[in-house]
Chain A
Amino acid sequence: MNARAARAAMIEVDRLSVTFGRGRAALEAVREVSFRVEAGAAFGLVGESGAGKTSVLRALAGLVADWRGRMAVAATTLDRRRDRAFYKLVQMVFQDPYGSLHPRHTVDRILAEPVAIHRLDDAEERIRWALDTVGLGPAFRFRYPHQLSGGQRQRVAIGRALILEPRVLLLDEPTSSLDVSVQAEILNLLTRLRAERGLTYLLVTHNLAVVAHMCDRLAVMNAGRVVEELTVDELRARRPRHPYTRQLLQASLGYDREVAAQLETFD
């Protein structure tokens, strides 16, 4: 325990709450969520739709206005507004690679944009490196998103996230819209990149098998709260403590008439 505490935290989230809307229509999407992710680790946030997992990720990325609590990345506490240095450190990959790439921009322009925003002068070198790193040849450089397959588009999105050489990737269901054989390629790419570059991952997904494959630890969310934090080994050994996690795990293992009859609603 002491050895673990001694390792530096890359992401710290402390009593984070996120609210959407005001007054009576206000919805508390995230309620006092806390967790920390060590440098170089992969941490999973799982739960069903509406659990608040994506809101946590978006709050970290600076895409949510109304939040309370404390968040820190690389020992720097985050302000309301994120500066350029933050995005050099933290990048995000979204679920739908088609929606997150500009349809009228070539891969070249998509990759060049962050380099220009950060006023780096080695765009040419970085674009070549990014394409090579995500396993796309130079032939893809002047194509448009609609000329690419789903897996190739997600490789471009990962390349764009990597081009500034961040230390943290926020991954929001990065393979949920892909066929299983393509999912395997993208997950292998992400695994390799983390090992090679010492990246820290925060992975949001509803797929427990993907979390088990990619992460060391995970937090299970329901109705805005973290109901339980556990290691992937505990998940694999089917030893979750909270009944919600146990039910989620059972339901994820496939169809079982008995399990279906006993499902409960947790609020």
Chain B
Amino acid sequence: MTATPLLTVDDLWVRFPGRAGLVEAVRGIGFEVGREKLGIVGESGSGKTMTGRAILRLVPRPGRVTARRLEFDGIDLLSIDERSMRRIRGRRISMVMQDPKFSLNPVMSVGKQIAEAYRAHFPAGAREARERALAMLAAVRIRDPRRVYDLHPHEVSGGMGQRVMIAMMLIPEPDLLIADEPTSALDVTVQLKVLAILDDLVTRRGMGLIFISHNLPLVASFCDRVLIMYGGRILETCRAAELHAARHPYTRGLLESLPWIDRPVRELATLERDPAWHDGPLA
């Protein structure tokens, strides 16, 4: 943990008005992110995706975000106007979503989209933006950047599409990257390559990374610290390398319900959900 955090979140709530009253997707969570790899893990409905979206003020309507503090590099993200927010979004805090198919423009070549992402944030000519985009495609381990530059989204594979997305999000050199299941749709070998790119950006450039995932073993081996979310709350925070020694019964239950290649069991443990995890004390 660095001395001055890049992002400070304190008492963050995300609420959605519904027919049966207010649905609370995120319930009063707090954490800090430095120039590190912070994992947020949880099952579907845990609030992990809404947490990532709330930081960028991308919670869909009619959702409402409140917090005692939501501060990025000394900027109060809740009080600034939408124009100022747009200067931060993409340029300083960027987000990679799970499925590239829905995030890329289908009628523009992928290279142009990356170049455009660069020009949206920096005063650069078309040629310079193109050179930057080609360099970025090479940086995300695309073998033939010149050929791929001219392809349209439907012409690239899922793994390549996700790397294109990551190139687009990284080209403005953000200080903080929020990656929501960025590698879940990828084959394990491609996944590893993409993670190595993110890893290098954190260690070499000092970027902060929030890595949202349902994959506990992956987060344990990749991140520095992990938050475990359940029912909109953070149940437990620990060093990623010590996730196997997690104390909260929910975290323990999740770990025990997983099959492992080198630890055979006859039957997998199933999770007995305790109502106290929803409102009870935190670990």
A interface with B by C-beta (< 8 Å): 48-49, 150, 179-181, 183-185, 187-188, 191, 206, 208-210, 212-214, 235-236, 238, 247-249, 251-257, 259-261, 263
Do B257 and A180 have beta carbons less than 8 Å apart?
Answer: yes
Given A184-B269, A212-B261, A236-B261, list of 9 further CB < 8 A pairs?
A: A180-B257, A181-B270, A181-B271, A212-B259, A213-B259, A213-B264, A238-B262, A255-B192, A260-B192
Residues of B within 8 A of A213 (CB): 259, 264-265, 268
The answer for the CA separation of A259 and B24 in the assembled complex, in Å, is: 41
Given that A235-B261, A255-B222, A256-B221 are known contacts, is A188 also in contact with B192, CB under 8 Å in the complex? no
Does B126 sit at the interface, judged by CB under 8 A?
A: no
Task: Find out whether the CB atom of A180 lies under 8 angstroms from the CB atom of B220.
Answer: no
Chain A residues with CB under 8 Å of B264's CB are 212-213, 236
B124: Cβ under 8 A from any A Cβ: no
Task: Determine the distance from Cα of A181 to Cα of B273 in the docked complex, in whole angstroms.
Answer: 10
The 8 closest A-B CB pairs, nearest first, are A254-B221, A213-B259, A184-B257, A48-B187, A260-B196, A184-B268, A255-B222, A181-B271
Chain A proximity of B21: nearest CB distance (Å): 20
- By the criterion CB–CB under 8 Å, are B189 and A247 in contact? yes
In the complex, are the beta carbons of A248 and B214 less than 8 A apart?
no
Query: Is A187's CB under 8 angstroms from B192's CB?
Result: no
Q: Once bound together, how far apart are the Cα atoms of A235 and B259, in whole Å? A: 14
Bound-complex Cα distance A251 to B192 (A):
7
B binding-site residues for A, Cβ under 8 Å: 43-44, 158, 187-189, 191-193, 195-196, 199, 214, 216-218, 220-222, 253-254, 257-262, 264-265, 267-271
Contacts of A49 in B (CB 8 A): 158, 187
Bound: A170/B278 CA distance, A: 38
CA distance A184 to B221 in the complex (A): 22
Is B192's CB under 8 angstroms from A263's CB?
yes
- Distance (Å) between the CB of A138 and the closest chain B CB? 22
Known A206-B187, A236-B261; judge A255-B271 contact (CB<8 A). Answer: no
| Shortest Cβ distance from A179 into B: residue | B43
Q: Is the CB of B187 within 8 A of A181?
A: no
B263 CB to closest chain A CB, in angstroms? 9
Q: Is the CB of A248 within 8 A of B189?
A: yes
Rounded to whole Å, the gap between the CB of B156 and the closest CB of chain A is 13
Q: Which residues of B contact A206 (CB under 8 A)?
A: 187-188
CA distance in complex: A252, B191 (Å): 10
Chain B positions within 8 Å of A183 at CB level: 257
Report the bound CA distance from A208 to B261 in whole Å. Answer: 7
CA of A261 to CA of B197, assembled, Å: 10
Cross-chain contact of A254 among B158, B193, B218, B253 (Cβ < 8 A):
B218
A254 to B43, CA, bound (A): 19
Using A48-B188, A188-B267, A254-B222 as known contacts, say yes or no to A180 and B193 having CB atoms under 8 A apart: no
